[in-house]
Amino acid sequence: MSKRSISELEEKMKQEKGIHTDFKNDMTYGEYLSLEHILSNQNRLSNHHDEMLFIIIHQVSELWMKLIIHELQGAIEAIQRNELQPSFKMLARVSKIQIQIIQAWDVLATMTPAEYLQFRDTLGKASGFQSYQYRQIEFALGYKTPYILKIYEKDQEISEMLQKASKAPSIYDVSIQALARAGLPINEALLNRDFSVVYDGDESVAAAWSTVYKNIDKYWNLYQLAEKLVDIEDSLQTWRFKHMKTVERIIGFKIGTGGSSGVNYLRQVLDHRFFPELWDLRTTL
């Protein structure tokens, strides 16, 4: 069969399935964005007015997280190719997205404890603690804890996806590799380490970043990369803090719906640092 025949057959199949390929003549705005599907999936389990707010805030946050994952993965791949400039645009976009999901907590905080209690029981064991996209973001940034994976054992597809993500190098792992490619002395064991283990710092990495910051003109790209990473961690910690305070404002210190310790867990994770040397050098410079 010729290429033309194959192309004509594929186009015919698309038309039969109702897939439009010409936006100008056929496809509408709603069809392109699948709005009928998206806007019909706010399924309240109670009759309480504020449950709609609760659902939409979390759905929108998950959509933003999907884009964050897309950009982080693109940035990781660009850094691995030693194409740092394109990665800066992707990481800058992540920082802008983070502003959106941080502000979402202010909208959710308009719901009072009394209002949330009207439908909280209908959530069963469903909890934001179970968000697998948030775990993907944590993994991409380097925070990989084995116990987290147990939460997703029930769903084989998600479990396998997260297992794979946990073994892949994080954005900081590939940034350390970029330091080595630039000729800075890095502990060889770090370059091909077990990436499923949480990185907890290394003197050679600290010395390399110190050299970068003391020689900005020479290592301008690495300097920019470092500052982009700091921007992202700073915003992520702001998001975590706003999450914690919103939860405290609405349910106090109650146990979370998914069985997590709620505010106490959220306070605990605030202590974790994704890029330790980049924060330590603020003191040592």
Residue (of 269, 265, 268, 245) closest to 256 by Cα position: 265
Half-sphere exposure of 70 (CA within 13 A, CB side): 8
pLDDT at residue number 18? 52
Angstrom distance (rounded) from CA 138 to CA 235: 13
36 and 154 inside one domain: no
pLDDT at residue number 69? 98
Residue 157 belongs to domain with CATH number: 1.20.58.480
74 and 149 inside one domain: yes
84 and 154 inside one domain: yes
Angstrom distance (rounded) from CA 276 to CA 281: 9
pTM over 0.75: yes
19 and 112 inside one domain: no
pLDDT at residue number 251? 80
35 and 93 inside one domain: no
116 and 199 inside one domain: yes
268 and 131 inside one domain: yes
pLDDT at residue number 124? 83
pLDDT at residue number 8? 53
Cβ atoms 263, 244 nearer than 8 A: yes
21 and 157 inside one domain: no
Please give the structure tokens belonging to residue 249: 């404002």
Cβ atoms 248, 110 nearer than 8 A: no
152 and 241 inside one domain: yes
Instruction: Please tell me the total count of domains within the chain.
Output: 2
**Coil, strand, or helix at residue 192?**
coil
Render 136-173 in DSSP notation, one character per residue. HHHHHHT---HHHHGGGTTSHHHHHHHHHHHHS--HHH
Low-confidence ranges of the chain (pLDDT < 50): 1-6, 9, 13, 16
pLDDT at residue number 193? 95
pLDDT at residue number 6? 44
What type of residue sits at position 45? L
| pLDDT per position as a tens digit, 103-133 | 999 999 999 999 999 999 898 878 777 899 9
Residue (of 117, 93, 81) closest to 254 by Cα position: 117
200 and 90 inside one domain: yes
113 and 82 inside one domain: yes
Residue (of 103, 100, 122) closest to 52 by Cα position: 122
Query: Which residues 6+ apart lie within 8 Å of 65 measured at CB?
Result: 101, 131, 133, 134, 136, 137
Residue (of 201, 139, 211, 142) closest to 180 by Cα position: 211
| pLDDT per position as a tens digit, 158-195 | 999 999 999 999 999 999 999 999 999 999 999 999 99
Angstrom distance (rounded) from CA 224 to CA 234: 15
Q: Which domain holds residue 17?
A: 1-41
Please give the structure tokens belonging to residue 3: 């290429």
4 and 130 inside one domain: no
pLDDT at residue number 21? 55
